[in-house]
A and B are shown apart, each in its own frame.
Chain A
Amino acid sequence: MTLTGVRKAAARSASVLAPAAGAQRATESLSLIEKVVIVTEIMLTYCRVRWNLNRTELPPLLVRLRAGLGSLDGPANDLAGSLADRLGFIVARTLSFLPTDGPCLVNSLVLTSLLARRGIPSRLVIGVQAEPAFAAHAWVEYGHRSVLPTAEIFERLVEL
């Protein structure tokens, strides 16, 4: 597959697991081609996020990743929620195979971008745990529900 082909595939990939595809697609298995397309999209987005994270501050980076998305507020719907859940699972699973340390913030930004490309607004939440030891975690929420792994031990610090 040429680089141009990869780019075209990534551009079309937003149709995979998109709300316009209908409710059935939220649960039925993806074809091999669709799996390749979406994994490619995830990896390209991952590279973009990693590149920008070292050069751009978080708030403007989020704006860039959400380009074209309307308001972050608005009523949640079941279809978008199901798709968000599924995409969250796919992103977490895909990036878990990377040999690099997969920080939660990067995973969250990748998922935020994928969801925004499908017109699904999401919130990036950063939480912290002060005791017994300091820890911080980032995750994505849709409709006030987490679509990436999190834990109740983290107190919400900010929603972006």
Chain B
Amino acid sequence: MPDTDQDQRKSAGSSSVGRDTTFSPKVTEGIGMPLTQSTITPMTMVRVPNHVVSRAFANETVVLNLNTGLYHSLNPTGGRMLEVLGELGSVHAAVDKLAAEYDQTVDSMRQDVYSFCVSLAEQGLVEVYHGHRRVVP
């Protein structure tokens, strides 16, 4: 299970990893569509916004949200998940790829990825879309 709820460090003051350059939706804000694990489906798309940058280290991935000034730390699994989500954009495709990488069942990986997406979205580190409608946590 990726560890995402690690300590947040206030900003002190290789660039981003895994930005999806193929997914450019026209955004219609999703009104009254709370983001929970149950609202994420295989058709859900995820995008790492431009104001989120990250760098992978040996034992963690550091993610900085330039808008909030907060740093976040992901364990290696979480860092890899963020990278794959950013590259592929599609939650469905990311689940398949990660399940193969970590030799896990798709069902098991799906729960982890869904939970991870919700956590990331709550911190403003990813934007979640159902079609062209953005789901705001």
Contacts and interface: CB of A to CB of B under 8 A. Distances in A.
Interface string A86-105: 00000000000000000111
A136 B66 contact: no
A153 interface: no
Interface in B32-79: 51, 53-55, 57-60, 62, 64, 66-67, 69, 71, 73
A135 B13 CA distance: 10
Contact of A138 (B12, B51, B57, B73): B12
A130 B14 contact: no
A157 B53 contact: yes
Contact of A59 (B11, B16, B54, B66): B66
B55 A136 contact: no
B29 to A, nearest CB: 19
Interface in A83-137: 103-106, 108, 126, 128, 130-131, 134-137
A136 B11 contact: yes
Given A57-B67, A103-B13, A156-B14, A134 B73 contact: yes
B9 A136 contact: yes
B12 A131 contact: no
A104 B69 CA distance: 13
A147 to B, nearest CB: 16
A104 B59 contact: no
